[in-house]
Amino acid sequence: MYKIVIVRHGLSVWPDKFTGWTDIDLAPIGLEETYKYGKKLKELGYTFDMGFSSVLKRGIKTLWRLLDGMDLNWIPLTYAWQLNERHYGVLQGLNKAETVEKYGKEQVQLWRRSYDVRPPQVELNDPKHPSHDPRYTNLKPNELPSGECLKDTYNRAVPYWNNVIMPLVKEGKKIIVSAHGNSIRAIMKHLDGLSEEAIMEVNIPYCIPLVYEFDENLKPIKHYYLATDEEVQKVIEGIKNQTKK
């Protein structure tokens, strides 16, 4: 049996805004909770050979804090843009509740949760377009999003998962992945064979480790959070309420 641990970054300083590829830091509570779950992983006997994160600060610092809690700061780490959060286009930086007031709850829900509805796109000459960010200078223009739906996120995150991460799991490497709500939802859709409708109902709690177990053919057997159902649901309810004033 093989295992892998996936963690959504801790709470950021922008919980009430569309963040996407904006490089926002973790809030103090995010740092605290993430370290706590690192300690819990160690207490439960988990250890890792390698770590993966997006190239966004909140994902990177979440991985650092988890490993700090486990005394595993020394393991090799890989940062991959393919694990980034979904790019929210022109919505990035906007307050979620105010966006609901402007565009309506149904439209914002489509932008947030649907599989194939993209938000309004960022123009290429906009300073906020990722082509102006030095961390993406090695990418071709057609690889950089101007605004993504979950399907777009799936099309970059899942191939990276299959081609880079899972072969290492097959080799017996113990791996932890720090990513984001939508990149993790894309991976879960793939692993669990979820429909486009079913994935709309999936929420990922902040910083609670999610464990996937696989058989010898790397087929998922089961997955579970390393927290009580009450802990998980409490965080998810907070996420659901982010569009409310």
Residue 218 lies in a domain: no
Residue 194 lies in a domain: yes
- Mean pLDDT score of the chain: 96
Residue 84 lies in a domain: yes
The edge-to-edge listing of strands for the beta sheet with 2-8 is 77-79, 50-53, 175-179, 2-8, 210-214, 220-225
pLDDT category of residue 239 using cuts at 50, 70 and 90: confident
In single-letter form, the type of residue at position 21 comes to: W
At 240 the pLDDT is: 82
Overall average pLDDT of the 15-42 stretch: 97
Residue 102 lies in a domain: yes
Number of domains in the chain: 1
Residue 63 lies in a domain: yes
Q: From 26, 69, 27, select the one nearest 176 (Cα to Cα).
A: 69
- Whether 9 sits among the annotated catalytic residues: the reply is yes
Q: From 58, 99, 25, select the one nearest 207 (Cα to Cα).
A: 58
Q: State if pTM tops 0.85.
A: yes
Residue 204's domain comprises 7-145+168-212
At 113 the pLDDT is: 84
Q: From 100, 104, 31, select the one nearest 68 (Cα to Cα).
A: 31
Q: Which of 33, 85, 87, 129 is catalytic?
A: 85
At 242 the pLDDT is: 78
Residue 136 lies in a domain: yes
Token pair, residue 2, equals 């093989």
**Each residue of 155-189: pLDDT tens digit?**
999 999 999 999 999 999 999 999 999 999 999 99
Query: Over 80: is that where the pLDDT of 244 sits?
Result: no
**Each residue of 116-145: pLDDT tens digit?**
999 999 999 999 899 999 999 999 888 999
- Whether 85 sits among the annotated catalytic residues: the reply is yes
Residue 152 lies in a domain: no
At 245 the pLDDT is: 66
Residue 223 lies in a domain: no
CATH for 141: 3.40.50.1240
At 141 the pLDDT is: 80
pLDDT category of residue 213 using cuts at 50, 70 and 90: very high
